[in-house]
């Protein structure tokens, strides 16, 4: 206790809060609850059961080190009750060389959701050739619960090796789901989606939408950085185009109130780097939602499992504190 009091005296001046930095999104209610006990109520999402409203967003493909990262992430999902989307599985359509990097169901158990991942350009080709069953076979090999289709027209446009998208992605998605029994999640890859794209997706019988909003890792910027041609500087401003997770949550709320939507599950991702932001957006969402993170997990998943476990425990504890004491001003009854 003596050491703690000394710390308080020594740190007090540096712990002052600037009123201009106050987070005004919440009512803070310190009298109405005890500390969280650490157990979260299970809930259904994406076809399985989760305990934490946190999604491990797609990040690693078949590259060196991906196997260890995916195994660590899968173990954390099983232990803490999170869902997970694999990184692009395109390479597995052509070869089983990297199969071991993606074969992670045994590390996470069967209770939580796991989704494989293919790009819209690959889905377009499968639909054109009437080979939708290849996506089903891929999901079957990995004992996955469904397929994430990542929609990335700007990334493909600026990627030196990019694929041409010849059909509007929503038409490809509609054609695909008509010929498959797979659960389908559709996501962007760092720039989010506008209200009309969201409306048309929400009117389809898909499992969920993942935002991939502006503010996190931006694959258009990444591809522009890979270009050696100095003329690429003329395209740099495209990396700043898109919609934030907050903006997209507002779009979804308006769409859900106004239109007869079939998809009522969202993964709020893109620039979610802390518990408070994720908690706030799930609280103001008017459809069932979890929040997704990629870079924050990746930062801790490349080491031994104990490093990642400590990070997820901090997420869990932070969520518990938020749930007990923070009430969204925008949606106080949620």
Residues 72-127 pLDDT 10s = 999 999 999 999 999 999 999 989 999 999 999 999 999 999 999 999 999 999 99
- Residue 66, pLDDT score: 87
Would the pLDDT of 10 be above 60? no
CATH H-level, domain 48-326: superfamily: Aldolase class I (3.20.20.70)
C-alpha distances in Å from residue 287, one per residue of 248, 251, 302, 304: 12, 12, 33, 36
- Residue 223, pLDDT score: 64
- Residue 208, pLDDT score: 98
- Residue 232, pLDDT score: 62
- What does the block give as tokens for 10? 């020594």
- Residue 2, pLDDT score: 55
Q: Rg for the chain (alpha carbons), in Å?
A: 21
Q: What is this structure's pTM?
A: 0.92
Comparing 32-41, 57-66, 133-142, 150-159, which segment has the lowest mean pLDDT?
A: 57-66
**8 confidence band (pLDDT: 50, 70, 90):** very low
Q: What is the pLDDT of residues 285-321, one digit of tens each?
A: 999 999 999 999 999 998 899 999 999 999 999 999 9
- Residue 211, pLDDT score: 98
Comparing 139-143, 191-195, 299-303, which segment has the lowest mean pLDDT?
A: 299-303
- Looking at residues 275-281, what average pLDDT do you find? 97
- Residue 158, pLDDT score: 78
Q: Which residues contact 92 (CB under 8 A, 6 or more apart)?
A: 62, 98, 99, 102, 138, 141
Closest CA to 175 of 166, 187, 163: 166
- Residue 206, pLDDT score: 98
Determine what percent of the chain is predicted with pLDDT higher than 70. Answer: 88
**Distance between CA atoms of residues 185 and 8, nearest Å:** 49
Residue 291: phi and psi, rounded to 5, are -115, 145
Q: What is the pLDDT of residues 207-229, one digit of tens each?
A: 999 999 998 766 666 666 666 66
Q: What is the pLDDT of residues 155-187, one digit of tens each?
A: 888 776 778 999 999 999 999 999 999 999 999
Residue 203: phi and psi, rounded to 5, are -85, -5
Q: Where are the domains of the chain?
A: 48-326
* CA angle, 128 then 132 then 136, to 5°: 160
**Distance between CA atoms of residues 63 and 101, nearest Å:** 8
Report yes or no: 286 and 310 within 8 Å, Cβ to Cβ: no
- Residue 244, pLDDT score: 97
- Residue 5, pLDDT score: 47
Would the pLDDT of 30 be above 90? yes
**64 confidence band (pLDDT: 50, 70, 90):** low
């Amino acid at each position: 206790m003596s050491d703690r009091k000394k710390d308080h005296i020594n740190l007090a001046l540096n712990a002052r809060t600037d009123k201009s930095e106050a987070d005004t999104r919440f009512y803070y209610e310190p009298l109405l609850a005890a500390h969280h006990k650490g157990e979260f109520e299970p809930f259904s999402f994406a076809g399985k059961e989760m305990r934490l409203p946190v999604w491990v967003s797609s990040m690693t493909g078949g590259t060196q080190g991906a196997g260890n990262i995916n195994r660590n992430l899968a173990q954390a999902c099983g232990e803490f009750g999170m869902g997970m989307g694999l990184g692009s599985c395109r390479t597995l359509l052509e070869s089983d060389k990297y199969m071991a990097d993606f074969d992670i169901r045994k590390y996470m158990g069967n209770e939580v959701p796991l989704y494989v991942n293919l790009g819209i350009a690959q889905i377009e080709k499968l639909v054109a050739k009437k080979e939708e069953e290849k996506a089903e076979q891929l999901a079957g090999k990995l004992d996955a619960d469904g397929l994430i289709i990542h929609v990335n027209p700007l990334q493909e446009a600026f990627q030196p090796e990019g694929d041409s998208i010849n059909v509007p992605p929503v038409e490809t998605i509609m054609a695909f789901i008509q010929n498959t029994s797979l659960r389908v999640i559709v996501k962007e890859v760092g720039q989010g989606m506008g209200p009309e794209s969201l409306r048309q997706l929400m009117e389809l019988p898909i499992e969920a939408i993942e935002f991939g909003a502006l503010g996190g890792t931006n694959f258009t910027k990444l591809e522009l950085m890979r270009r050696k041609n100095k003329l690429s500087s003329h395209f740099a401003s495209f990396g700043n185009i898109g919609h934030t997770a907050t903006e997209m949550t507002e779009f979804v709320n308006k769409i859900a109130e106004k239109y007869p939507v079939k998809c009522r599950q969202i993964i709020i991702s893109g620039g979610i780097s802390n518990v408070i932001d994720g908690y706030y957006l799930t609280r103001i969402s008017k459809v069932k939602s979890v929040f997704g993170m990629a870079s924050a997990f990746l930062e801790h998943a490349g080491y031994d499992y104990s490093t990642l476990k400590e990070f997820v425990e901090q997420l869990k504890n932070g969520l518990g504190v938020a749930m007990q004491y923070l009430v969204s001003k925008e949606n106080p009854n949620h």
